[in-house]
A and B are shown apart, each in its own frame.
Chain A
């Protein structure tokens, strides 16, 4: 543990030149959507502020968030962030293990009480007193509550921690629960995605460490800088959408020409993330560019809002048939009502005819009276 070293000192100790450091500051400013005037501010913060330790806990998860994070593609961002954030505890990445590792956790919690950031990957299952996820011999639920108690802020990494993701999908046998429903007394930053984009993860953490505050969040608690627009809003295939040019099947001419994937279930229009701008793996590509629609992994409940290959959500989760969607339900209901109207009209006509006969035979028909 490095006591009260600043970020800059740590970086210099790790052999990073001042030139690289300043480049990193510019890059960070750009990544966070800040103007050039913020570069000296970031540099100053990093030169003077003692670094903030980050404790990274792992719950019920697949570790794809960690996999994404360590691939933070920009070399500078990767090098610097990994050394700079002083990831003092991350049982997946750290060298120490067992009691040694747990000892570090306790040490950091005491030394930096109320001043460390807790990053949570995965989520706690609540059923059976949390027995579905055991870390260090104890339920993860207990560890999460214990570490969260003295944290300054919590980052919910990925869709598991933010929304529940696959292990919270219906019927959710372990009662996997997103972090914000378990820890309610701390500021929580949700960084959803399965996994989140590496640069988004490093961007969020860098912002928090350099500016010593949490980034501006939207209504759902996600950083606005990365989650304020839909994939669709910045998609390079958007002109095909507006023109009405769609891939109708994955092996058709439209698919070869790179038309819009809306009709084969792309969730880009309903998914808030930065994939279409930041992209993945050093800006190489993202799902839509690879010819597959967005599956909406950073949206709440995306496993239960299927299908990934249909435009309309299937509604079997809410009591309709497995293939039902809004159109099928609506069309069926309209058909039933239409049939009922036709039958009703027929009976009405018969009744009316019958009445007329009755009235006619009585010879007491009133002017214009039908009934």
Chain B
């Protein structure tokens, strides 16, 4: 797309014969991505502060509602995260085939694993030129599937199980998720699992942001702008 910026004068000399652009991420997927990113940020910060609260506020307790506010933000962001995730599952069914990648691990497809190894070699500097992919590359899909596809489920289930403790017996949270508490070995253990899940997501986010920027610069296709415009552009027209 960079070619569009060229002035007419040198257009004939510099304009490449063909640059492919594919519409990959539909608007609802992009919207979900950024809302989800915001929700994860709020959840991580408030979640950490619930485990390790801020320094004590002095004065009358009626003058403050710090912990209450932090917990409210956590619960509100949690609901947004959960509802967004349910919507995202729905969109996997009605959206284009790229919308399904997040929830699918093509375990039995040989070419997937070959592609994953190939991409891993590119990341280990063993290859000087990666392959082109319209959707996620196999390594990205692998990470996405575990961290976001299943990681979200884990955090939503454990999160609502914790929420059911406050909502109380008989609440819908208790009916749907209360069974998780004894399964995880009690309330304290469940808290610890949820907390470790947060760190797993933090680590995923670090790798995700780094890889997206690096791919944007070094791979053969657009990356960051694709999650804004939805369009994947390629930097070359080589067949492979």
Contact = CB atoms under 8 A, between A and B. Distances in A.
Nearest to A330: B199
A345 interface: yes
- A-B pairs with lowest CB-CB distance, top 4: A330-B199, A244-B66, A270-B187, A326-B195
A279 interface: no
B26 interface: no
A338 B66 CA distance: 31
Interface in B1-59: 2-3, 14, 16, 48, 51-58
Interface range for A? 35 or more
A246 B61 CA distance: 11
Contact of B206 (A224, A296, A337, A352): A337
Main secondary structure of the interface of B (DSSP, over half): helix
Given A239-B61, A371-B219, A313 B187 contact: no
B235 A369 contact: yes
B187 A272 contact: yes
A262 interface: yes
A243 B65 contact: yes
A337 B56 contact: no
Contacts of B125: 347-348, 351
Contacts, number: 155
Interface string A280-317: 00000000000000001001110001000001110100
Interface string A201-221: 000000000000000001110
Interface string B215-240: 00111100000000000000110000
Contact of A244 (B16, B57, B130): B57
B16 A367 contact: yes
A315 B191 CA distance: 13
Interface stretch (A96-104, A168-176, A225-233): A225-233
Interface string B57-101: 110011111111010000000000000000000000000000000
Given A219-B182, A327-B51, A345 B220 contact: no
Interface residues of B, number: 59
B198 interface: yes
Contact of A262 (B3, B53, B214): B53
Given A313-B189, A330-B196, A348-B125, 9 more contacts: A242-B67, A305-B186, A311-B51, A312-B52, A313-B191, A330-B200, A341-B207, A368-B2, A371-B128
Nearest to A163: B186
B238 to A, nearest CB: 9
Contact of B128 (A248, A296, A355): A355
A326 B70 CA distance: 20
A194 B63 CA distance: 37
A348 B53 contact: no
23 contacts: A219-B178, A219-B182, A233-B166, A240-B61, A242-B68, A243-B57, A243-B65, A244-B67, A245-B56, A245-B64, A246-B53, A299-B186, A312-B52, A313-B192, A326-B192, A327-B195, A341-B206, A341-B210, A344-B214, A345-B210, A351-B128, A370-B217, A370-B218
Contacts of A244: 53-54, 56-57, 64-67, 70
A338 B196 contact: no
Among B186, B202, B219, find the residue whose CB has the most chain A CB atoms closer than 10 A: B186
B53 A334 contact: no
Contact of A259 (B54, B56, B169, B202): B56
Interface of B: 2-3, 14, 16, 48, 51-58, 61-68, 70, 123, 125, 128-130, 165-166, 168-169, 178-179, 181-182, 185-189, 191-192, 195-196, 198-200, 202-203, 206-207, 210, 214, 217-220, 235-236
A329 interface: yes
Contacts of B196: 326, 329-330
B237 to A, nearest CB: 10
A64 interface: no
A63 B106 CA distance: 58
A180 interface: no
A241 B67 contact: yes
Contacts of B16: 367
A271 B187 CA distance: 7
Contacts of A272: 187
Nearest to A219: B182
A78 interface: no
